[in-house]
């Protein structure tokens, strides 16, 4: 098979202690070399790749071990961006779910998390961090398996949705969102092209923002914000166009997917609630990706009914196993949920369950370590959850 595979996982995995210790030293001013980070990082990736392969996973990732948080450093490496320190809360949509979580006493936002376009965005070659991550995984696999490597990448709208109207960029850089989005798409096309040339054939966009469109609280906040231009549906349309512009011209053998992330923050906290119903038809039909990775671990995501809108030729990875709770799911119950999801896919496309199952996969609902540390699961729980994914896939499909 080509991606997606029957047994999938969302990218981030629990970091080993020696990697965290090396990063702690670096945070105190020790150089990466003095902290031993390069060797520790490569060995950690080698071990986590082996773990994934031993469990029978094909779309192996780095575990995001070279990142301190799930969005990585890609945006920092785009030419024209600036990182704000102690950004004023007035810059932000304070009803945006992850902004709400970052507000600190004194109406500030966490330092170092605020990146805007200070001048025109550009990129001449691929970013160093993504290429480095890809090479770490390639060094841990035989070349015949490089095509299966999955690299996660932050949504192109990540540093737009959180900001108030017109505040994602300096007024001297862009006159409006349309100009800004055009350059964001250009740098993403360069990035994706460079990764393709380096051997990548499987990319998963991590996008909490798309899930926020399911949230009544976010939609209400948007409509009540008098600074906004257009409706919340206009914003959704703009983001779909942005994605499609980013993906324009990609070779046919580059698999693309989007993970609608509802949050697995420190302590297992989530950010987003609301059924996919409100966005499903538009998202599934208009967004030009191959695969939708959807979280279905709790009732807050609603039922599988929106999968009736999944067009033929597109896939869904159903995230029904929690990365927030140590308790193990019942395997037979998980299998029945997968069959239920397939039945709704079949209903919408006029297929049989067996035909629909060819476009359905299973995974945990999110990554195990969105940020470096602070999660309720231990390594043994992570392994057991991944093993459950593999067993469910084997018993339903009997293939990778």
What confidence tens digit (pLDDT) does each residue in 63-104 have?
999 999 899 999 999 999 999 877 788 888 988 887 776 665
> What pLDDT is attached to residue 2?
87
More confident residue, 264 or 270: 264
Lowest mean pLDDT: which of 13-22, 48-57, 93-102?
93-102
> What pLDDT is attached to residue 265?
54
> What pLDDT is attached to residue 263?
65
DSSP state of 169: B
pLDDT tier at 43, thresholds 50, 70, 90: very high
Cβ proximity of 303 and 329 under 8 Å: no
Q: Which two tokens stand for residue 99?
A: 């902004």
Question: CA distances (Å), 118 to each of 80, 90, 91, 165, 351, in order?
Answer: 6, 17, 14, 15, 50
Q: Which of 30, 220, 49, 11 is nearest to 135 (CA)?
A: 49
The span from the CA of 179 to the CA of 193, in Å, is 22
Q: Which of 251, 319, 321 is nearest to 291 (CA)?
A: 319
Lowest mean pLDDT: which of 75-89, 140-154, 292-306, 323-337?
292-306
Region of 273 please: left (phi>0), alpha (psi -120 to 50) or beta.
Answer: beta
Q: Considering Cα of 238, then 232, then 213, then 82, what sign does the dihedral take? A: positive
DSSP state of 164: P
- Span between the terminal Cα atoms of the chain, in Å: 7
0.85 exceeded by the pTM?
yes
What SS3 state is found at 79? strand
Domain range annotation of the chain: 17-396
Q: Which two tokens stand for residue 264?
A: 């697995």
Name the CATH topology of 17-396.
TIM Barrel (3.20.20)
């Amino acid at each position: 098979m080509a991606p997606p595979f029957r047994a999938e996982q969302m990218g981030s995995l629990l970091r080993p202690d020696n990697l965290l210790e090396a990063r702690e030293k670096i945070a105190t001013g020790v150089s990466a070399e003095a902290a031993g980070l390069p060797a520790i990082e490569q060995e950690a990736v080698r071990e986590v790749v082996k773990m994934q392969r031993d469990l029978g996973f094909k779309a192996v990732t780095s575990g995001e071990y070279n990142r301190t948080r799930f969005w990585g450093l890609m945006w920092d490496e785009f030419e024209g961006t600036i990182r704000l320190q102690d950004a004023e809360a007035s810059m932000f949509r304070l009803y945006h779910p992850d902004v709400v979580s970052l507000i600190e006493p004194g109406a500030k936002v966490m330092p170092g998390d605020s990146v805007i376009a200070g001048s025109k965005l550009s990129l001449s070659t691929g970013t160093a961090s993504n290429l480095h991550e890809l090479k770490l995984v390639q060094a841990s696999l035989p070349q015949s398996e490089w095509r299966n490597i999955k690299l996660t990448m932050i949504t192109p709208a990540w540093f737009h949705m959180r900001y108030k109207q017109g505040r994602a960029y300096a007024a001297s850089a862009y006159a409006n969102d349309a100009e800004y989005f055009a350059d964001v798409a250009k740098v993403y096309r360069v990035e994706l092209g460079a990764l393709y040339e380096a051997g990548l054939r499987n990319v998963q966009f991590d996008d909490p923002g798309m899930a926020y469109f399911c949230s009544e609280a976010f939609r209400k906040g948007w409509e009540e914000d008098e600074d906004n231009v257009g409706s919340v549906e206009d914003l959704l349309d703009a983001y779909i166009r942005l994605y499609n512009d980013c993906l324009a011209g990609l070779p046919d053998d580059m698999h693309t997917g989007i993970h609608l992330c509802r949050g697995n923050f420190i302590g297992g906290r989530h950010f987003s609630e609301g059924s996919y119903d409100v966005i499903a038809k538009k998202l599934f039909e208009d967004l030009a990706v191959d695969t939708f990775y959807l979280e279905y671990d709790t009732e807050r995501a609603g039922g599988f009914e929106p999968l009736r809108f999944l067009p033929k030729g597109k896939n869904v990875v159903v995230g029904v196993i929690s990365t927030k709770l140590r308790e193990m799911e019942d395997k037979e119950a998980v299998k029945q949920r997968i069959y239920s999801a397939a039945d709704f896919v079949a209903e919408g496309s006029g297929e049989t369950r067996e035909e629909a199952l060819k476009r359905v996969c299973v995974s945990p609902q999110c990554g195990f370590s969105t940020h470096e540390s602070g999660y309720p699961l231990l390594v043994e729980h992570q392994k057991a959850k991944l093993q459950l994914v593999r067993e469910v896939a084997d018993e339903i499909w009997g293939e990778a």
